């Protein structure tokens, strides 16, 4: 199977948590593979989608308020624990996404770590911005948390996170998760996974 899907993601997004959980079954049905690409969603928002911040500041934003109900509906449908929002919301995810970038060349390890980190933040309500929490998550998955923490602070890993984020922006992305099929066919969010499945049903 070839990697027909690119999944650009940030661990701080609850919708990304759901899409990440739902993606493997979709890929299996389609006989396809994905490459997971860590980004910093705050960098994307700052560059091309600052309206996200304005919406958060509107206490009477009906769409935002309703989105919390819809989020819980989707979480129940996917059987994903969603204890959100927590005291850490909105999370600073730069440390977490550097951990992910340090693992990007080992996709299996990246997927294991990301799945566990999503559970840490969205189930157990742990601090996604705490390197000690992230190292413990990695250790629990059989990875070397201390080594990952050291790698996450290195210039090459920092540069990779910037490059991934800049690439997503250049390709038209505006948030997390941004999903590409066959290079340039872009979809956004958990809600659009049925469209991803439809695109994958076509010949590459």
Q: What is the CATH number of the domain that holds 41?
A: 3.40.30.10
Per-residue confidence in pLDDT tens, the chain, 204 aa = 679 999 999 999 999 999 999 999 999 999 999 999 999 999 998 998 676 655 566 667 788 788 889 999 999 999 999 998 888 888 889 999 999 999 999 999 999 999 999 999 999 999 999 999 999 999 999 999 999 999 999 999 999 999 999 999 999 999 999 999 999 999 999 999 999 999 999 865
Q: What is the number of domains present in the chain?
A: 1
Q: Rounded to 5 degrees, what are φ and ψ at 33?
A: -125, 160
- State the pLDDT at residue 57: 63
**Is the entire prediction scored with pTM above 0.95?**
no
d(CA 189, CA 193): 7
- State the pLDDT at residue 49: 67
Collect contacts of 185-190 with beta carbons under 8 A, ≥24 apart: 189/15, 189/19, 190/15, 190/16, 190/18, 190/19, 190/22, 190/74
Structure tokens at 79: 């059987």
- State the pLDDT at residue 86: 84
Q: Cis link prior to 179 (omega < 30° from 0)?
A: no
Residues spanned by the domain of 56: 3-200
């Amino acid at each position: 199977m070839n990697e027909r899907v690119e999944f650009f993601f940030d661990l701080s997004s609850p919708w990304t948590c759901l899409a990440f959980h739902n993606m493997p079954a979709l890929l299996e049905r389609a006989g396809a593979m994905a490459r997971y690409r860590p980004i910093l969603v705050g960098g994307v928002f700052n560059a091309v989608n600052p309206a996200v911040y304005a919406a958060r500041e509107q206490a009477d934003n009906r769409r935002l308020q309703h989105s919390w109900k819809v989020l819980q509906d989707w979480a129940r449908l996917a059987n994903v624990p969603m204890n959100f929002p927590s005291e850490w919301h909105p999370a600073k995810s730069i440390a977490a996404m550097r951990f992910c970038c340090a693992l990007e060349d080992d996709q299996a390890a990246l997927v294991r770590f990301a799945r566990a980190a999503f559970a840490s933040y969205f189930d157990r309500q742990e601090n996604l911005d705490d390197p000690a929490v992230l190292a413990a998550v990695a250790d629990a998955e059989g990875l070397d948390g201390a080594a990952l923490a050291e790698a996450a602070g290195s210039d090459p890993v920092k540069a990779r996170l910037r490059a991934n984020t800049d690439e997503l922006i250049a390709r038209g992305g505006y948030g997390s998760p941004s999903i590409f099929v066959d290079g340039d066919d872009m979809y956004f969010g958990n809600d659009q996974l049925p469209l991803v499945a439809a695109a994958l049903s076509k010949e590459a």
